[in-house]
Amino acid sequence: MKIPTITLIIVILNTYNIFGQSNRKDSLKAIELSEIVVTATRTERQLGSLTTPLTLIKKQQIQTLGALRLTEVLQEQTGLAIINDHGQGIQMQGFDPDYTLILIDGEPLVGRTAGTLELSRIAVNNIKQIEVVKGPSSSLYGSEALAGVINIITDDPDRTEGGLNVQYGANQTLNVNGQVSFKHKKLGVYLFADRYSSQGYDLNPETYGATVEPFFNHTFQSKIKYQFNSNLKLTLSGRLFQETQEQRSDIGNTTPLIVSGEGTQTDGNFLMTLDQKLGKNLKMQYRLYHTIYDTESGLRYENDQQIFDQSFFKQRFTRPEVVANYFLNDQHFLTLGVGGTLESVRATRYEGERRFNTQYIFGQYEWTPAKNLTVLGGARLDMHSVYGQQLSPKFSTRYQLVPWLALRGSVGVGFKAPDFRQLYLNFTNTTVGYTVFGTEEVVAGVERFTQAGEILNIFTDPANFTTLNPERSVAYNFGVDMQWKNGLKAEVNLFRNDIENLIETQIVARKTNNQSIFSYLNLREVFTQGAEVNVTYQLFKNLQIKGGYQYLIAKDKTVVDQLNRGEIFKRDPQTLITTRVTNSEYGGLFNRSRHMANIRLFYTYKSITASLRTIYRGRYGLGDLNGNQILDADNEYVAGYWLWNTSVAKEFGQVLRLQVGVDNLLDFRNETMIPGIAGRLWYVRAGFNFARK
């Protein structure tokens, strides 16, 4: 019988980690040791053996949460905060949502609005597991993997079964999804369909329009696997998401002037993977990926049905890639990859079709010089058609000091390429009259305005804007993993990220209408640093307790320098007296909580599972109120809050599962500051499962 190379590695790595397995009574620990993850190294690895921090969320946990969309799952994880900025995205290690790469089965999702990829686009009932890697992974994944990577691994057709889930809850939220999985000899087929609809909600009924307008969406996913022989396997998978949402607003100055319409978004991806084993030591993978993201929106005046605004956005992304995994012997493991990316965008706000392409190579070498030591080094070179070359190295190591304690450390570089918006935007706001140009457009754009005699004065020579560099970070992570025989497990990770070349808008010129022309420049330098702690403990046989905490400091280095020079002031809103801001008053970047925590209880008794989870988000800055653009006064913060969620489920044999739950049990609301929190939400759910034994 042939043992696949990758299994061999896992077996070998297993032997390094069996220290905990001497205590066989602890079944939980045994399970966790056998967890296989792929995102940290792009090869299958045991969770316990990684050199970088990784959070694994399994299907069963997603079910326990009663979650329907990815946001609901991620918001309960330590160190992750949901940020509302042109959509719901995730903040990781203090980075904005722009800096976390979102993958489905290892390939990137595209379609970001102002940097945020709307995570509620992603249904969760077809997810096998979610892997969250913290710290930069640009050495493997290239652009956007600056704060980290979230990889969504979808279900595999590894047996014949079918299922149907129906969930109904507050705000007339209805979700129906079903999946069929078929496995016969060499062929596996998986089909998934999901419909999600909601009436939305309105936290401020006195203003026109709802906080979340009614919407419905569909997700379809399919996967076909064919094992030609033990050395060759083909996988085809496709996913389609489509959402329609009502839009309406009152644009009248004094008397109501209603515009309304519909917005649709479509997000689709297709992946073909061919896995090939060449001999005992070499495994090849050939991948071809294509994804699209389209939005369309049309608003008309309700009184005369004239068009108020019509816009579209079409993004395309294609990537062929070849990856080779070479297994030299017990101690040496090599991964090499080469690929290319072709991206294009057409949109209302862009002149014609804009394209750019990237070619890249990456390599990773894993060395296990001793049973208790793993050393990993890697680098990736991206060659981009617009901004040039980018080299992202990373080095990490793990050392098992004593059976119950291991040390982890890594140093790595992450980067985020300038996006289409920053390079090619050509947008004039018709209501206010300002203009924004991407850096590749600004010279020609300002020239056009000059020709037309619409420029009053130029503040910055447009020629200064032509070279936009990728945003870049150097990150350090140091961690300790502890695991005691009594079932107590603790992970600590300290992190520091130094980010340079942050891209920001900068004023170029003033137009004759007194409005400005903006473009983008690499300007600021910031840092984020902090500590994350995760603890898991099997309190009783039936009760598991999990806790997590993140401490975070994130500051603008330029602001710190200005504070040191005494150049930043604040005005007391009562007395109107201006004083200097001291360094200790500076609260750092807006929207970051210094403290975030969670405590989660999971109870299992026979066929009943129950959970009670609480998530704390400490106070965070919302916006400046005392005239200095930085966070330094108490009234500039949103108060911290706790959310309590609970659920109970009972299984009836293998066939039926019933669940009831309440999210935001205490009905916490902050209508003006946090419109993304809807208030108390109850739900009931029935799941049917038909498996062939």
Partner 1 sequence: MYKSRLFLLLGLVMAFTACKKEDSDAVTPALEALTFTNLAAPGDVIDRTTGQVTQTNPFIYFSFEKGTTVSASENWDIGFKGTTLIFNSGVSGSGQGGAVIKTGTFDELTEAPESTEFRQDTNSEFAVPTGSDNGWYNYSGPPTFLITPIAGRIIMVKTFDGKYAKVEVLSYYKDAPTQPNALSDQSATYTFRYMYQADGSRTLK
Q: How far is the CB of 629 from partner 1 (least distance, A)?
A: 6
Q: Does 624 bind partner 1 (CB under 8 A)?
A: yes
Residues 6+ apart with CB under 8 A from 158: 181, 183, 188
CA quadruple 38, 39, 45, 46: dihedral positive or negative? negative
The Cα angle at residue 491 between residues 488 and 492, in degrees rounded to 5: 135
Judged by phi (left if over 0) then psi (alpha if -120 to 50, else beta), residue 315 lies in: beta
Contact set for partner 1, span 394-423 (CB under 8 A): none
Stretch that binds partner 1, among 195-203, 292-300, 454-462, 548-556 (CB under 8 A): 454-462
CB atoms < 10 A from the CB of 255, how many? 6
**One residue of 579, 582, 607, 654 binding partner 1 per CB under 8 A:** 579
Contact set for partner 1, span 218-257 (CB under 8 A): 251, 253
Q: Does 3 bind partner 1 (CB under 8 A)?
A: no
Stretch that binds partner 1, among 132-140, 332-340, 381-389, 561-569 (CB under 8 A): 561-569
Closer residue to partner 1 (CB): 351 or 454: 454
Stretch that binds partner 1, among 43-51, 130-138, 427-435, 519-527 (CB under 8 A): 427-435
Q: How far is the CB of 687 from partner 1 (least distance, A)?
A: 40
Q: Does 574 bind partner 1 (CB under 8 A)?
A: yes
Q: Does 568 bind partner 1 (CB under 8 A)?
A: yes
- Per-residue interface string for the shown chain with partner 1, residues 512-551, x marking contact by CB under 8 A: -xx-x-----------------------------------
Stretch that binds partner 1, among 72-80, 311-319, 323-331, 578-586 (CB under 8 A): 578-586
Judged by phi (left if over 0) then psi (alpha if -120 to 50, else beta), residue 114 lies in: left
CA distance 546 to 489: 10
Q: Does 573 bind partner 1 (CB under 8 A)?
A: yes
Q: Does 359 bind partner 1 (CB under 8 A)?
A: no
CA distance 676 to 519: 30
Listed residue (599, 596, 598) closest to 619, CA to CA: 596
**One residue of 459, 605, 688, 690 binding partner 1 per CB under 8 A:** 459
Q: How far is CA 435 from CA 87, 424, 427, 449, in A?
A: 23, 13, 6, 10
Closer residue to partner 1 (CB): 331 or 578: 578
Question: By three-state DSSP, how is residue 340 classified?
Answer: strand
Listed residue (274, 243, 246, 270) closest to 258, CA to CA: 246
CA quadruple 499, 39, 92, 197: dihedral positive or negative? positive
Q: Does 456 bind partner 1 (CB under 8 A)?
A: yes
Closer residue to partner 1 (CB): 316 or 510: 510
Both tokens of residue 117? Answer: 């990829």
Closer residue to partner 1 (CB): 202 or 624: 624
CA distance 23 to 27: 9
Q: Does 430 bind partner 1 (CB under 8 A)?
A: yes
In the DSSP assignment, the letter for residue 211 is: S
Q: Does 629 bind partner 1 (CB under 8 A)?
A: yes
Q: Does 628 bind partner 1 (CB under 8 A)?
A: yes
Which positions touch partner 1 (CB under 8 A)?
A: 251, 253, 430-433, 456-457, 459, 507, 510, 513-514, 516, 567-571, 573-574, 576, 578-580, 623-629, 635
